[in-house]
Amino acid sequence: MTQDLEVFRAETRAWLEANCPPSMRTPMTGEDDAVWGGRNYEFKNPEAKLWLERMGAKGWTAPTWPAEYGGGGLSADENRVLQSELKKIGARPPLFSFGLWMLGPVLLEYANEEQKKEHLPKIVRGEIRWCQGYSEPGAGSDLAGLQTKCEDKGDHWLINGQKVWTSYANYADWCFCLVRTDTSVKHEGISFVLIDMTTPGVETRPIKLISGSSPFCETFFTDVKIPKGNMVGRLNGGWEIAKRLLQYERTNISGFGSNTRVDVVDLAKKHVGLEDGALEDRDLRARIAAHKMTERAYALSVQRAQEEAKAGGNVSHMASMFKVAGATLNIDRCELMVEAAGNRALGWSGEGFTPDDLATTRGWLRSKGNSIEGGTTEINLNVVAKRVLGLRDTQ
Amino acid sequence: MTQDLEVFRAETRAWLEANCPPSMRTPMTGEDDAVWGGRNYEFKNPEAKLWLERMGAKGWTAPTWPAEYGGGGLSADENRVLQSELKKIGARPPLFSFGLWMLGPVLLEYANEEQKKEHLPKIVRGEIRWCQGYSEPGAGSDLAGLQTKCEDKGDHWLINGQKVWTSYANYADWCFCLVRTDTSVKHEGISFVLIDMTTPGVETRPIKLISGSSPFCETFFTDVKIPKGNMVGRLNGGWEIAKRLLQYERTNISGFGSNTRVDVVDLAKKHVGLEDGALEDRDLRARIAAHKMTERAYALSVQRAQEEAKAGGNVSHMASMFKVAGATLNIDRCELMVEAAGNRALGWSGEGFTPDDLATTRGWLRSKGNSIEGGTTEINLNVVAKRVLGLRDTQ
Amino acid sequence: MTFTLNDDARMLKDSARDFFREQAPVTRLRKQRDAKQNGRDPELWAEISALGFAGVIIPEEYGGAGLGYVALGAVLEEAGRTLVASPLHSSALAGASALLLAGTDAQKAEWLPKIASGEVIATIAIDEGAHHAPAKSKIKFEGGKLSGEKKYVADGHIADLFIVAAADALFLVKADTAGVTRRELVTADSRGAADISFAGVAAEKMNGGADIVDAILDRARIGLAAEMVGAASEAFEITSEYLKTRKQFGQVIGGFQALQHRAAKLFTDLELTRSCVLAALDALDRNANNVAEYASLAKARASETVHLATNEMVQLHGGIGMTDVHDAGLYLKRARVTEALYGGASFHRDRYASLLGF
Amino acid sequence: MTFTLNDDARMLKDSARDFFREQAPVTRLRKQRDAKQNGRDPELWAEISALGFAGVIIPEEYGGAGLGYVALGAVLEEAGRTLVASPLHSSALAGASALLLAGTDAQKAEWLPKIASGEVIATIAIDEGAHHAPAKSKIKFEGGKLSGEKKYVADGHIADLFIVAAADALFLVKADTAGVTRRELVTADSRGAADISFAGVAAEKMNGGADIVDAILDRARIGLAAEMVGAASEAFEITSEYLKTRKQFGQVIGGFQALQHRAAKLFTDLELTRSCVLAALDALDRNANNVAEYASLAKARASETVHLATNEMVQLHGGIGMTDVHDAGLYLKRARVTEALYGGASFHRDRYASLLGF
């Protein structure tokens, strides 16, 4: 077994050596370097295209998915070897994809054979870019209050309604979507469907955030017809799938904090300065120290949860806890960065501020969404209280 | 008018000069110096007795109460003059009394003539010491859930039940008490009665707190008969009186923070030490500074509320806000004191610690009750949210 | 001490409220921003000045109303409520205060009437790095020529007159003097500012030393705190209204106890801070001897309160609060700028501790 | 790194849990206190020692089990849960660590077997004022004689052997040596301690300098953090149970959202701290090169967590939590002592920042 793994490691190393292009072994310099794939994706760097094609062909964008659906078919141990080898050469992720992170795992669990065969391989190869149609203007924290109607018209479903906060819907090829198939009940009247965004009647409108960026859209469905085969799971059985998918999303978003390019300590040293080796502003210093401790505590806890998961413990209920802690951590980090950078972090654009300064400001504003997207902190605290701690209303 | 006030000031000053005994012009050295009065009260200092008698005779223990009920009959302006003159000579309060602070004002508002004539003068002169029978083991935050039964037996009321957190019930002569006179409704089935603690069937048992002191009791009523005339206000009309009284209590308890004898800054200077004029522990220093700011903000806010009240504004709804802020402030102060005093504040008794050290520890433990007694912080936040901010459940 | 406005101040506050609500609601800031004016709105400033707001603290002999800081604070609070972008704080409060405290008779006679009429926009140039550290100024003045750099001067991009602070002296510099270079800053609060360099620039020395620099800064801090309390109050009230109308799970979200408690705590914090700011303004008019304490108290607490109020505004609005079309972001951005100006909570906690002797 | 207990440690933890729950529940502390034993309970210590808990980190050659810090941490955590008053931390962890790291071969051979068997109670004597400041020690050692004062030495009133820290050296002093005066302290946590003065006392120098003092303290800090996580966990669980049973307004109070959110936050905080403590214990057994960082991380976070957990325990129990008959006060008092010992959160934030270079 261990010997097999060492063989696998050697082969993997050799393959990566031969196939990972040089520019794909350098650190990403910004969000623009993220490859999202899809029908209309334009690669800024031909080596990024090559890297995706090669990894996609081996199924290593989704290493543990079954090979029959285009995945790598690797065991958990083999995957750990692959990840460690990728890390060793500093390889960039070949693909960023809601299909990989969120939809794929639930398709594997809930979809029928035809649906798996149709969609999973394209996700693996980055050919189809997915977006998520969950929230609606009247259904945010109360997601199950969604109203987008899906009617059975015999040979097709007819969809009418509006979604909001659909990430990059304006770039997406397909949308996985929660719809209402029964108005007489709440949670039990929701279904999970897949919608081709090129279907007539689908419109998207980007939402500009307070940070100036537009990573989300409003998405409108007007008399959109989709094939009957596009429903995943049973009719009115969508809520269970939705909850499972939210866990993947929370785990994913809670990882934001680790994506730090500029360290708050470095920023503070630069803008605040040291005196006898300590930040001159002792008040800020104490708060940064507390933050760095929480950051370390969070990282150690993620590691612990992974270890417990590996040992067979059920840690899925911890997703909400990590979502809350991760979001809080990143918001605090961004606040401390803005405070440390002083008036250099009060800019919006122009030459008066460096690109790093402006990124601090914009990143700070963007971070405020972390405690809202993927389930608000309030909703996730409810989940921890009720599902993890067993505190329930008697009403 | 102003001239009249100046005459009053001169007369008051002369009277105080002649009548306030020397030892009553020195700062109190501890809780033991507080005079609570009552049938069985033993004065430790004969001058304290003299001071109470003289002030009581003038009605100046309750300066603004009507003279016909033994009060001072002063106007608000005259009372301010009196208070400023008392402050000028550093006079101790002649009397500490729940009768003065809590019961008296509601008797003036709700009691009948006979009740006022009977009870108010004795409160003014400190002849009767009162305690409050409100909470029960099953009715804490949910005070209206109280179950102590009061039955109409024709020529008397018959009372059975148990109260808890009755302040100094073991020393009190009389108790003002909430009882249930109708079990079929909640708030509308409560009445407000006055009980002589020497009545057969009344028993008290002191409660020892985590601080080691016993300022509260459990009080048991077993077939206690009281005269029909001892009910204040109408039958089943006690909840309104209770709420009004709670406002007085909250205003009263929220003032705890100002009763500071040892300043946290002095304590920190002593135990932590200064370096270049700043506390060596800069982290603690920043937190003490923030606390001192809150303390000042609180004091200014109380002053503002008084000014607004004087100008005719309705500030009674602010009682809950001040209760929360005052309790939080005092708890924080005690925490900072313990932190500043380091291991010197970890003692319980014995010669290894100074009396001041031990007072810091005991005071810290006692302060934890501030956010519970007189309505928990949680209940008072509910009140602020609902009554002041107008946030209400739709259910 | 008093917390109550006198009749003059009350009338001024009411007229400011009416004017800003009608003529300069948040949509006006939004329009300025979308037109990339970066805080430039001479028309609005002319209207504000015409109402006498630019001369509130300037004595009548210099063309002002001589009503004092409590009155100007009331106007600034109202301006803060609708995020009015104008040099009201930098010119009518900070600039005017500098001339009142440090101006020679000739300087006062020359500039105060123009500031009062709004004809001249003055501002104080303080910081030289990323952080507020007035005592560490490196401004040099030799042979009537001033040299050095100032960073993030509020309204520095539109000011006609700079009051430049050295560590222990103050100087008047006309913005169009040879050797003055300003780099306009496009700022997050859409108000604009400037980094300014002075290369051997003709400057007039004003009266006073480090004490006067501090006294002027304290006025700027207290006045800004008044604006911040206005912004925080409005942010709180908008949020509170939203809690009463937004429904989820079949009820208004203001019915959820966790949100009720947060709202109640924010309200308490706001009321406590309001008392500090009112007391600080009053201390200025009373010429109290502990203005410095009041200034640090007011600025530190206002910084924390407006921070909390605007962050809660975004969070409690949920997704909609993150969108540019909602006003929450505008409050958040302005709050962050005011927090940093003339020293943040951290700076003022440190100063307060020093003032209290620990 | 691993967070998982190996079989030995798991078995040890289970037996510790069973033993403490049955033989040393909180009622035992209460009894000790009411009998004014001030932490003295030789019978309990004999039972604990008989189970081998006193020798967990001591190598087999010296009569211990040689199982390491993760294993001892697991025992301390269980002891923390029921507030077991015994010299387990001061002798079996701190004292033993001092001898293991700084003892000469002869010192180890003489003392470790006795510590492992529980026959001798050792403790480390560190602080000399109200606060933890090991680098500022004024202990003097001249001609084989030690002089100076130590304050609030944990279990100092019952210890047989002191390891006395100077700023850059360590000394062994037998408690019954001439010139040692101890003043017993009756402490808030009912465990007792002592102020000790050394007046030219015969002492043996141990190996190592300031680095070793620090290394020993880091072990004491991490071990104490394990005890604190135990106490915090138990406080949280008791409170959580109460929330599920106490009814007001016709429902269990755990149904109120404001309390739910506080419980969820406390739980999150506790889990994050637990990870730090487990990692710190593991770092000791791995002989990691950043033990100091882990120690300050674990001690600072454990201090804050146990503080929050015990304060919430009182508050969420309401009036009953304030009474002496309820255990909440006992948890609160022990928490405050452990927070202060070997440096509180403030001390360790400062140290952590220094270790990270800022």
The 10 Å CB-count burial string (b at 16+, else e) for D135-150 is eebebebeeeebbbbb
pLDDT at A276: 93
Burial of B75 by CB count in 10 Å (0-12 exposed, 13-18 middle, 19+ buried)? middle
d(CA A121, CA A104): 10
Strand partners, C123: C162
3-state secondary structure of B261: coil
- Test mutation, C257, C260, C262, chain D, max D CBs within 10 A: C257
| Tens digit of each residue's pLDDT (9 = 90 or more) over C72-95 | 999 999 999 999 999 999 999 999
Q: Which of these, B241, B234, B204, B229, lies nearest to B104 by C-alpha position?
A: B241
- Residue B282, chain A, CB below 8 Å: the answer is yes
| Greatest Cα-to-Cα distance within chain A, rounded to the nearest angstrom | 77
pLDDT at A252: 62
Whether A104 is in a domain gets the answer: no
- Residue A283, chain B, CB below 8 Å: the answer is yes
Q: Which two tokens stand for residue D217?
A: 């303290």
B176, B205, B236 — which closes off a domain? B236
| Tens digit of each residue's pLDDT (9 = 90 or more) over C269-284 | 999 999 999 999 999 9
Residues A201 and A142 grouped into a single domain:
yes
At A269, the pLDDT band (50, 70, 90 cuts) reads very high
Whether B267 is in a domain gets the answer: yes
pLDDT at A248: 79
pLDDT at D66: 97
The complex scores an ipTM of 0.94
Tell me what the pLDDT averaged over chain C comes to. Answer: 97
Residues B263 and B227 grouped into a single domain:
no
Whether A84 is in a domain gets the answer: yes
CB-hemisphere CA count at 13 Å for B124?
28
Lowest-confidence segment of B26-35, B366-375, C209-218 by average pLDDT: B26-35
pLDDT at B252: 62
pLDDT at A315: 73
Residues B184 and B87 grouped into a single domain:
no
d(CA C267, CA A145): 31
pLDDT at A89: 95
Q: Which two tokens stand for residue B172?
A: 């009190």
d(CA A28, CA C289): 57
Give me the mean pLDDT over the B117-132 stretch. Answer: 97
| Tens digit of each residue's pLDDT (9 = 90 or more) over A327-384 | 999 999 999 999 999 999 999 999 999 999 999 999 999 999 999 998 899 999 999 9
- Count the domains in chain A: 3
Give me the mean pLDDT over the B303-319 stretch. Answer: 83
Residues A193 and A307 grouped into a single domain:
no
Q: How far is C342 from chain A (nearest CA, A)?
A: 11
What sign results for the dihedral spanned by CA atoms A318, A319, A324, A325? positive
What sign results for the dihedral spanned by CA atoms B45, B50, B56, B62? negative
D130 and B338: CB-CB below 8 Å? Answer: no
Residues A228 and A310 grouped into a single domain:
no
Residue D31: CB atoms within 10 Å: 11
C1 and B303: CB-CB below 8 Å? Answer: yes
C358, closest residue in chain B (CA to CA): B278
Of C2, C251, C273, the CB nearest to B297: C273
pLDDT at A259: 39
Alpha-carbon Rg for chain B, nearest whole angstrom, is: 22
Residues B166 and B201 grouped into a single domain:
yes
- List CB contacts of B295: < 8 A, sequence separation 6 or more: B257, B329, B333
Whether B179 is in a domain gets the answer: yes
Q: Which of these, D178, D139, D260, D163, lies nearest to D220 by C-alpha position?
A: D163
Residues of chain D with confidence (pLDDT) below 70 = none
CB-hemisphere CA count at 13 Å for D65?
21
pLDDT at A255: 42
Residue with the larger pLDDT of the pair A253 and B56: B56
Residues B278 and B207 grouped into a single domain:
no
| Tens digit of each residue's pLDDT (9 = 90 or more) over C168-190 | 999 999 999 999 999 999 999 99
What sign results for the dihedral spanned by CA atoms D228, D230, D231, D235? positive
pLDDT at A33: 86
Chains that touch D (3 or more CB pairs under 8 A): A, B, C
Whether A206 is in a domain gets the answer: yes
Secondary structure (DSSP) of B200-231: TTEEEEEEPBTTS---EEEEEEEEEEEEGGGE
Q: Inform me whether the pLDDT recorded for B374 exceeds 80.
A: yes
d(CA C254, CA C249): 12
Of B165, B283, B350, the CB nearest to D185: B350
End-to-end CA distance of chain B: 54
| Tens digit of each residue's pLDDT (9 = 90 or more) over C232-257 | 999 999 999 999 999 999 999 999 99
Give me the mean pLDDT over the A45-60 stretch. Answer: 97
End-to-end CA distance of chain D: 26
Whether B272 is in a domain gets the answer: yes
Q: Inform me whether the pLDDT recorded for A256 exceeds 70.
A: no
A236, A265, A294 — which closes off a domain? A236
Percent of chain B residues past pLDDT 90, beyond the cut: 86
d(CA D291, CA D284): 7
Whether B193 is in a domain gets the answer: yes
Q: Inform me whether the pLDDT recorded for A257 exceeds 50.
A: no
pLDDT at A223: 98
Of D324, D341, D344, the CB nearest to B210: D324
d(CA D121, CA D90): 8
pLDDT at B169: 95
CA distances B14 to B18, B20, B55, C73, C291, Å, are 6, 10, 14, 43, 36
Query: For C229, phi and psi rounded to 5 degrees?
Result: -65, -35
Q: Which residue has the tokens 């409003």?
A: A218
Among left, alpha and beta (phi > 0; psi -120 to 50; other), residue A190 is beta
d(CA A287, CA C130): 19
- Residue B275, chain A, CB below 8 Å: the answer is no
d(CA A212, CA A194): 30
| Tens digit of each residue's pLDDT (9 = 90 or more) over B214-226 | 999 999 999 999 9
Residues A78 and A151 grouped into a single domain:
no
Q: How far is C186 from chain A (nearest CA, A)?
A: 6
B46, B81, B96 — which closes off a domain? B96
pLDDT at B255: 42
pLDDT at A317: 72
Torsion (CA) D308, D313, D314, D317 in degrees, nearest 10 = 150
- Residue B300, chain A, CB below 8 Å: the answer is no
Residue with the larger pLDDT of the pair D45 and A313: D45
At A394, the pLDDT band (50, 70, 90 cuts) reads low
Q: Which residue has the tokens 């104080």?
A: C124
Structural domain range at position A205? 130-236
Residues A219 and A270 grouped into a single domain:
no
Q: Is B249 a catalytic residue?
A: yes
| Tens digit of each residue's pLDDT (9 = 90 or more) over B205-258 | 999 999 999 999 999 999 999 999 999 999 999 999 998 888 877 766 544 433
Whether A354 is in a domain gets the answer: yes
Could you tell me the CATH number of the domain that includes residue B278?
A: 1.20.140.10
CA distances D122 to D51, D89, D91, D165, D174, Å, are 18, 10, 5, 13, 9
pLDDT at D48: 98
pLDDT at B28: 84
Torsion (CA) B335, B339, B343, B344 in degrees, nearest 10 = -70
Could you tell me the CATH number of the domain that includes residue A42?
A: 1.10.540
Q: Which of these, A77, A74, A71, lies nearest to A59 by C-alpha position?
A: A71
| Tens digit of each residue's pLDDT (9 = 90 or more) over B51-79 | 999 999 999 999 999 999 999 999 988 99
Q: Inform me whether the pLDDT recorded for B349 exceeds 70.
A: yes
- Residue A293, chain B, CB below 8 Å: the answer is no
Residues A276 and A338 grouped into a single domain:
yes
Q: Inform me whether the pLDDT recorded for B30 exceeds 90.
A: no
Domains assigned to chain C: 7-117 (1.10.540.10), 122-208 (2.40.110.10), 211-355 (1.20.140.10)
Question: A285 to chain B: which residues are within 8 Å by CB?
Answer: 282
- List CB contacts of B24: < 8 A, sequence separation 6 or more: B47, B48, B51, B91, B92, B94
Q: Inform me whether the pLDDT recorded for B114 exceeds 80.
A: yes
CA distances A70 to A59, A74, A96, A117, C329, Å, are 5, 12, 17, 9, 44
D261 and C256: CB-CB below 8 Å? Answer: no
Q: Of the residues B136, B249, B295, B339, which is catalytic?
A: B249
Residues A87 and A161 grouped into a single domain:
no
Residues A258 and A384 grouped into a single domain:
yes
Q: Inform me whether the pLDDT recorded for B395 exceeds 90.
A: no
